[in-house]
C-alpha cells in the first residue's frame, strides 16, 4: 500500500471494493435484526420490528392469499390461481397499470418539447405556460383533481402527468435547443424537410438523453403515484401500505417497501439496457 489507506490515490483491490460496497447493507440488516431481537425479548408480541420469520410469513400471506376485501381463494386452488388472486399480485397490477399509463402519457410530452424547441411559433405558444405550470406544486392540486375528475383512476394518472410532464417537456425542449444548429442546417442542405429534421435528425439525437431524463424522473412518477394511492384508492401498493399502517402490519409493510424498490430498480435497469441497445453510439449512458 504505497498510497495510504483512504487517500485519493488509493487503489482498493477487487475484494476490498466488493466488501466495502456491501458493508452498509450488512450493517443495516444486522442492526435491524439486533433491535428486533432485543425488542422481542422484551415483548414477544412486538409488532414494530417483526422478525425475519414473521416477515416471511406475512409476505407468504400476501403472495398466496387474496386481500381482505376480496373473496378468499379456495384452499385447494392451484399455485397459479392463488398467485394471480393474491393481494400482492392485485396491488402490483393496479399500481403498475397506473405507472405505465403515466409513462405512456410522457410520450406526447416529449413530442411537444421537441416541437417547442424546433418550431419558434410552437415554442412561443407553449413555453411561458409550461414554465408557469412547472412551478405549480402538483400535490397542492390533488383536492382539485379529486373534485374535477372524481377519485377513480383518471385523477391519479392526471396527478402523475401534471407532476412530471412539465419537467419532461422542459427537459426535452432544452435538449432540443442543445442540438448544434449546424446539424439542422446541414440536414436541410441534404434535402430534408422540417419534419425529417425533427424526427430523423433531432429526435434521434436527443432520444438517449430523453430516456435518461425519464429514468431520473421515475422517482417523481412513483412519488405522485403513491401520494394519489395513499389518499384515495381501493387498491395498489401504496394503498396497501397505508392500510396496513392502521393495523401496525409491519411484517407486510417492510417487504412491500423492498418490493417497490426492487420493481423500480428493475424498470430503471430495463430502460438502461434499452438505451444501450437502441443507441450504441451514445457513450455516456
Partner 1 sequence: MAMPLIQIESVFVAYGNPPRAVLAGIDLEIEEGSFVCLLGQTGCGKSTLLRLVLGSERPLRGRILIDGREHHQPDSTRGYVPQRYALFPDRTVLDNITFGPEVSEFGLAGRLRPAFYRRRKELRDEAFHYLRRIGLRESDASKYPHQLSGGMQQRVAIAQALINRPRILLMDEAFSALDSGTRREMQSLVRELWKSTGTTLLFVTHNIDEALRLGTRVVVLAREAPELGSRIAMDLAVPDPCAQEDIPSLMDRLERVSCPAEAGGTVTLSV
Is there a contact between 198 and 115 (Cβ–Cβ < 8 Å)? yes
The three cell numbers locating residue 76:
385447494
Question: Site for partner 1 (CB under 8 A): how many residues?
Answer: 26
Task: Name the minimum Å distance from CB 279 to partner 1.
Answer: 7
Task: Draw the binding track, 154-183, toward partner 1 (x: CB under 8 A; -: no contact).
Answer: --------------------------xxxx
The three cell numbers locating residue 24:
452498509
- 279 makes contact with partner 1 (CB under 8 A): yes
- 187 makes contact with partner 1 (CB under 8 A): yes
- 78 makes contact with partner 1 (CB under 8 A): no
Task: Name the minimum Å distance from CB 203 to partner 1.
Answer: 10
- 200 makes contact with partner 1 (CB under 8 A): yes
Q: With CB under 8 A as the contact rule, which of the stretches 51-59, 121-129, 138-146, 200-208 interacts with partner 1?
A: 200-208
- 204 makes contact with partner 1 (CB under 8 A): yes
Task: Name the minimum Å distance from CB 265 to partner 1.
Answer: 28
| Alpha-carbon distance values, 67 to 6, 172, 260, 270 (Å) | 51, 41, 18, 30
- 13 makes contact with partner 1 (CB under 8 A): no
Residues 225 and 260: their CA atoms lie apart, in Å, by 12
- 281 makes contact with partner 1 (CB under 8 A): yes
Residues 276 and 213: their CA atoms lie apart, in Å, by 14
**Which of 86, 165, 167, 205 forms a contact with partner 1 (CB under 8 A)?**
205
For partner 1, the binding residues (CB under 8 A) are 180-183, 185-193, 195-196, 199-201, 204-205, 207, 279-283
Amino acid at each position: 500500500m504505497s498510497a495510504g489507506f483512504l487517500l485519493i490515490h488509493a487503489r482498493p483491490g477487487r475484494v476490498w471494493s466488493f466488501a466495502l460496497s456491501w458493508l452498509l447493507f450488512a450493517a443495516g440488516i444486522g442492526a435491524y435484526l439486533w433491535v428486533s431481537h432485543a425488542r422481542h425479548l422484551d415483548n414477544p408480541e412486538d409488532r414494530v420490528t417483526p422478525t425475519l420469520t414473521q416477515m416471511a410469513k406475512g409476505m407468504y400471506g400476501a403472495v398466496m392469499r387474496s386481500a381482505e376485501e376480496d373473496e378468499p381463494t379456495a384452499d385447494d386452488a392451484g399455485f397459479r390461481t392463488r398467485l394471480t388472486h393474491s393481494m400482492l399480485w392485485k396491488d402490483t397490477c393496479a399500481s403498475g397499470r397506473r405507472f405505465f399509463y403515466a409513462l405512456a402519457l410522457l410520450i406526447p410530452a416529449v413530442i411537444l418539447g421537441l416541437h417547442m424547441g424546433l418550431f419558434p411559433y410552437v415554442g412561443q405558444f407553449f413555453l411561458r405556460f409550461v414554465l408557469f405550470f412547472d412551478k405549480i406544486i402538483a400535490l397542492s392540486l390533488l383536492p382539485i383533481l379529486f373534485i374535477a375528475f372524481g377519485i377513480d383512476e383518471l385523477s391519479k394518472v392526471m396527478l402523475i402527468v401534471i407532476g412530471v410532464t412539465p419537467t419532461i417537456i422542459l427537459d426535452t425542449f432544452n435538449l432540443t435547443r442543445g442540438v448544434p444548429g449546424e446539424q439542422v442546417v446541414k440536414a436541410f442542405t441534404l434535402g430534408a424537410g422540417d419534419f425529417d429534421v425533427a424526427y430523423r435528425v433531432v429526435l434521434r439525437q436527443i432520444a438517449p438523453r430523453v430516456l435518461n431524463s425519464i429514468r431520473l424522473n421515475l422517482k417523481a412518477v412513483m412519488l405522485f403515484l403513491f401520494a394519489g394511492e395513499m389518499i384515495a384508492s381501493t387498491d395498489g401498493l401504496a394503498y396497501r401500505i397505508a392500510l396496513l399502517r392502521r393495523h401496525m402490519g409491519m411484517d407486510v409493510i417492510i417487504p412491500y417497501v423492498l418490493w417497490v424498490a426492487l420493481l423500480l430498480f428493475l424498470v430503471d435497469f430495463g430502460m438502461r439496457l434499452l438505451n444501450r441497445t437502441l443507441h450504441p453510439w451514445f457513450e455516456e449512458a
